[in-house]
């Protein structure tokens, strides 16, 4: 049985991968690998995340790097808390 991730889980995976790289940020290739997404799906999610102010896109040397914003960090903390609560009741997100 194949278990698919929800959009919320994918967003959390993207934010966690970005957070792990700290202030240096994460490059597109690393983000693709860590979040296990195709380039086209990643582009859609990154567009939504930058639009919502959860991550910032920085371009240098013609390469894109993504950094977690304070708002993104707050979202991720709230997601983790909610996930823990749901799990304590035997629910999965």
Q: Write the pLDDT tens digit of every residue in 9-60.
A: 999 999 999 999 988 899 999 999 999 999 999 999 999 999 999 999 998 7
Out of 1.10.10.10, 1.10.1270.20, 1.25.40.10, 1.10.375.10, the CATH code matching 7-88 is 1.10.10.10
Give me 90's structure tokens.
């035997």
Give me 84's structure tokens.
């823990």
Q: What is the DSSP letter of 1?
A: -
pTM attached to this predicted model: 0.90
* Distance separating alpha carbons of residues 55 and 60, to the nearest angstrom: 16
Q: Distances from the Cα of 91 to the Cαs of 29, 56, 84, 86, in angstroms?
A: 32, 32, 9, 5
Q: In what order do the strands lie in the sheet with 63-68?
A: 26-27, 63-68, 55-60
């Amino acid at each position: 049985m194949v278990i698919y991730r929800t959009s919320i889980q994918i967003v959390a995976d993207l934010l966690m991968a970005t957070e792990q790289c700290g202030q240096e940020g994460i490059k597109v290739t690393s983000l693709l690998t860590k979040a296990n997404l195709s380039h086209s799906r990643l582009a859609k999610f990154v567009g939504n995340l930058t639009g919502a102010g959860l991550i910032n896109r920085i371009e240098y040397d013609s390469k894109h790097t993504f950094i977690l914003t304070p708002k993104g960090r707050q979202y991720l903390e709230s997601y983790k808390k909610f996930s823990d609560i749901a799990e304590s009741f035997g629910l999965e997100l």
